[in-house]
Amino acid sequence: MGSRRDFLEKLSISAVSLPILYSPASVFAACDTPYEGRILRVAIMGLGNYGTRVANAMQDCKRAQLVGVISGTPSKITKWQAEYNIPEKNCYNYEDFDAIKHNPDIDAVYIITPNGLHCEQAIRVAKAGKHVICEKPMAINAEEGERMVMACKAANVKLLVGYRMHFEPKTVEVIRMRKTGEFGQPRFFQGQTGFVIGNPDQWRLNKELSGGGAMIDIGIYAVNGARYMLGEEPIWVTAQETKTDPVKFKAGIDETITFQMGFPSGAVASCLSTYAMRHLDRFFMTGDDGWVEMQPSIGYGPIKGRTHNGELNQPHITHQTLQMDGMAQLIFEGIQPLVPVDGEEGLKDLKIMDAIYMAAKTGGKVSL
């Protein structure tokens, strides 16, 4: 297994997307009713595996459309032009994409490049006057994240982060249940995220490009999941790092980190992020009046979950389709998901991960 993308894909089970029949359009964009409103016209930057997944998912969108590409590989641009009917005038490379400033046919750019490139690319997109959608982690640390937030505010454009789980039906149902008190006071969250990473030469194991190892790549799901399932922001973290293969996982690339978070109510979280263990994709939360377990909790295919009330049975809908339609609603109609997907949300996760790395390095408790 070579990467987080492979890991999530292998967790997936092929399924035909089903229409949403149970949720208001204010939460989910995909619905049966015809849509005749404004379309968010998107250029994808970074035409790798996940960029392809997003492009394919967008073919089912009603409010968002793929109209452009940005890549450093000419052959990929040519392939995408043919496959997705993208006009030549909407194709750019990493050197000349600032010219999108003069292209009225592009509203937003979805940045799906290695983490270490996000900050500067996002700032350039913002200066070009286009909305920024950035894959998570939004940046490699909070300092870069703050620069991105400030740049987008200065340019008066939106900065959104690819938190697809914030649109996933079963996840949203769990958040709704927590918000309406069906679990009582949340007390404990456990998040297990991990896989065995493959190719040692890939960018995820390059500190400059990735910004870290398993924690920043897949541990972010547990950090974010703890926050939306407990409904609070952590006030302290502790962490411990284990490394069994210092050749493959060089300095600055974490192999396994276990981390704990404490919250104002007294709730606690215990999480694991790893590149060296299989079959780890589970969230669990318990409260005074109920509990929820999700396994798989973050894979691309059908999420499975159960609560004290029984199985979660919301239909599977391609996450990225929901995400892109939901972001179009947010940009054009101001409709917010139950959990934010903006730059401030991404910055919160980055600050927590910075603290986790510090705690793992020092062995102490780090206050937030």
* pLDDT per position as a tens digit, 225-264: 999 999 999 999 999 999 999 999 999 999 999 999 999 9
Distance CA 280, CA 321 (A): 25
327 within domain boundaries: no
Using the predicted structure, report yes or no on whether residue 298 has a pLDDT greater than 70.
Answer: yes
Does residue 10 surpass a pLDDT of 80? no
Give 262-295 pLDDT, tens digit per residue.
999 999 999 999 999 999 999 999 999 999 999 9
Question: pLDDT digits over 72-102, tens only?
Answer: 999 999 999 999 999 999 999 999 999 999 9
Among 103, 133, 164, residue at a domain's last position: 164
Is a pLDDT exceeding 60 seen at residue 31?
A: no
Report residue 77 as tokens. Answer: 């641009």
How many distinct structural domains can be found in the chain? 2
Domain shared by 207 and 242, yes or no: yes
Same domain, 189 and 132: no
Alpha-carbon radius of gyration of the chain? 20
In the 3-class helix/strand/coil scheme, how is the chain assigned residue by residue? Answer: CCCHHHHHHHHCCCCCCCCCCCCCCCCCCCCCCCCCCCCEEEEEECCCHHHHHHHHHHCCCCCEEEEEEECCCHHHHHHHHHHHCCCHHHEECCCCHHHHHHCCCCCEEEECCCHHHHHHHHHHHHHCCCEEEECCCCCCCHHHHHHHHHHHHHHCCCEEECCHHHHCHHHHHHHHHHHCCCCCCEEEEEEEEEEECCCCCCHHHCHHHHCCCHHHHHHHHHHHHHHHHHCCCCCEEEEEEECCCCCCCCCCCCCEEEEEEECCCCCEEEEEEECEEEEEEEEEEEECCCEEEECCCCCCCCCCEEECCEECCCCCCCHHHHHHHHHHHHHHHCCCCCCCCEHHHHHHHHHHHHHHHHHHHHCCCEEC
Would you call 163 a catalytic residue per the annotation? Answer: no
- 179 lies in which domain range? 165-315+341-367
Bridge-based pairing state of the strands 236-242 and 40-45 = unpaired
Nearest to 110 by CA among 40, 41, 45: 45
Q: Is it the case that residue 1 has pLDDT exceeding 60?
A: no
Q: What is the pLDDT of the chain when averaged over all its residues?
A: 93
Residue 149 and residue 180 in one domain? no
Confirm if 274 and 255 have CB atoms less than 8 A apart: yes
108 and 196 part of one domain: no
- Would residue 300 show up in a list of annotated catalytic residues for this protein? no
In the set 92, 163, 221, 357, the catalytic residue is 221
Do residues 249 and 361 share a domain? yes
Question: What gap in Å lies between CA 122 and CA 118, rounded to an integer?
Answer: 6
Provide the pLDDT for residue 11.
58
Check whether residue 346 and residue 357 sit in a common domain. yes
Q: For residues 115 and 68, state if they share a domain.
A: yes
232 shares its domain with 280: yes
Among 19-33, 243-257, 309-323, 352-366, the least confident range = 19-33
Mark whether 60 and 160 lie in a shared domain: yes
Residue 273 within any structural domain of the chain: yes
The answer to whether position 1 is within a domain reads no
pLDDT of residue 33: 72
Report pLDDT for 25. 41
CA distances from 160 to 18, 91, 244, 274, 344 (A): 26, 22, 36, 27, 9
For the domain that residue 193 is a member of, what is the CATH number?
3.30.360.10
Question: pLDDT band at 188, cuts 50/70/90?
Answer: very high
Domain final position from 107, 141, 164 = 164
Does 189 lie in the same domain as 64? Answer: no
In this model, does residue 13 exceed pLDDT 60?
Answer: no
Question: What's the length of the chain?
Answer: 368
User: pTM here?
Assistant: 0.93
Identified catalytic residue from 84, 92, 110, 136: 136
